[in-house]
Amino acid sequence: MTRWIALFRGINVGGNNILPMKALRTLLEEIGCKKVETYIQSGNVIFTHSLGNSASLSARIGKAVFDSHDFEPKVLLLTFDEMSEIARMNPFPEAEDNPKSLHIYFLEKEPISAAIDKLNEIKSDTESFSLIGRAFFMHAPDGIGRSKLAAKAEKLLGVSATGRNWRTVTKILELA
C-alpha cells in the first residue's frame, strides 16, 4: 500500500466547487482508499491505496468527484516520500519561522521552458523564489494577496500547479 497525499486545486474557494471534507473522505473510501484523513477545507487528503500509479489514481479520483458532484477538480498526487523530499529541499529555511510567508507550488511536471527572466521581472524587492524540479518555492514576507509573482507564477512556469503555505505542508507531513 502506498501512502498518498492528494492536493486538490480550486475546491471550496469562493463558493465554487463545493466538496465537504466528510463527503470527500466517504468518496475516497468508496474507490478503495484506506486510512483517509483530510486537513482543512481546501482539499488536502492523506490516504493509502494499493494502486501505485499516480496518473491512474488521480484520474479515478477526479471521475469519482465528477460523478458525485458534477465538477472534476485537478488532483495532484504525491507519495509521502515525494512530498517529504520536496520539503527537505526548501531553499529558504530562514522563512520557516513565518510559515505563512513561505509557499510551495507543487507542479504537475517539471517545467520545460519556465520564464525565469519574467518571474524575476515581476517579483517585488522583498520576494524570493527558487524552482527545484517539480517544486516552485516562493518566499513572500509581505504576503501573496497582492503579489504579481504569486498571481503569474503558474502561467510563467507553463505547467499546472497548486500551492500550499509552509504551515500546511508541515501539518500534512505530520499527519501522514
Instruction: Compute and round to an integer the Cα radius of gyration of the chain.
Output: 16
Helix/strand number for the chain, H first, E second: 6, 8
Give the pLDDT score at 87. 98
Instruction: Delineate the domains of the chain, giving CATH numbers in brackets.
Output: 2-82 (3.30.70.1280), 89-175 (3.30.70)
The model carries a pTM of: 0.93
Give the pLDDT score at 58. 94
Per-residue pLDDT at 15 exceeds 80: no
3-class SS letters over 29-93: HHCCCEEEEEECCCCEEEEEECCCCHHHHHHHHHHHHHHHHCCCCEEEEEEHHHHHHHHHCCCCH
Residues 117-164 pLDDT 10s: 999 999 999 999 999 999 999 999 999 999 999 999 999 999 999 999
C-alpha–C-alpha distance, residues 108 and 160, integer Å: 5
Least confident of 51-55, 81-85, 141-145, 167-171: 51-55
Place of cell 505547467: 159
